[in-house]
Structure 1
Amino acid sequence: MANHKSAMKRNRQNVVRRERNRSNRSRLKTLYRRIDEAIVANSPEQARQALQNAVPMIAKAVNQGVLHRNTAARKISRLTRRVNAFAQNS
């Protein structure tokens, strides 16, 4: 338990940031899941739309410090490749 005033404030800030990061990570997982669901449902147009919604949110997560820049680039690249391959085969 924090005993100093500055440590108590730091503790409060950490709680707020942890909740914010948790919410943002959950939102990202939902976006990934929507792309997967569109692919399983055999809907290339829906998959493209889900990807278009996901890419800016992933980039925003980088700016918010939730994801590392390279992690975001890797996820965007893999999702894009997956959607494009699926759309081509459909």
Structure 2
Amino acid sequence: MANHKSAAKRARQTERRQLRNSRTKSSVRTTEKKVLKAIEAKKVDEAQSLLREFTSVVSKAAQKGVVHSKKAARRIGRLAQQISALSK
């Protein structure tokens, strides 16, 4: 337990941020899985629309600092590459 008032406040803030960040990370992983499932099923149109949704979710997470911006770009790029390979 914290010995100072400010340390106790920091502990509360950290706990709230952890909850918020874990929710955001979870939604990123869930949408990524949806895109991958559509790619495996070779549903190009569905995969493209899900990629737009995933791009939005992961970009917001990167903007908030939950995910590194370069990691977000890498994930988006790799999924886009897989979808473009499907559509050829």
Structure 1 residue 36, shift from structure 2 partner: 1.0
Once residues 87 and 32 of structure 1 are traced to their aligned partners in structure 2, the CA distance between those partners, rounded to angstroms, is: 19
Q: 1:16: how far off?
A: 0.3
Aligned to 1:30: 30
1:60 deviates by 0.5
Structure 1 gaps of 5+ residues are none
Q: Percent identity?
A: 38
Moved more, 6-15 or 56-65: 56-65
**DSSP 3-state at the match of 1:42:** coil
Q: State the shift of 1:9 in Å.
A: 0.2
1:31-57 per-position Cα deviation (integer Å, ceiling 9, x unaligned): 111111111222111000110111111
> In the alignment, does 2:51 pair up with 1:51?
yes
Counterpart for residue 14 of structure 1:
14
Question: Take 2:42 and 2:79, find their aligned partners in 1: how far apart are those partners?
Answer: 16
> Which letter maps to 1:38?
A
Partner of 1:65: 65
Match in the other structure for 2:75: 75
Q: Distance in 2 between matches of 1:6 and 1:30?
A: 36
Give the match's secondary structure for 1:25: helix
- The letter for the 1-side match of 2:43 is S
| 6-15 vs 68-77, which moves further | 68-77
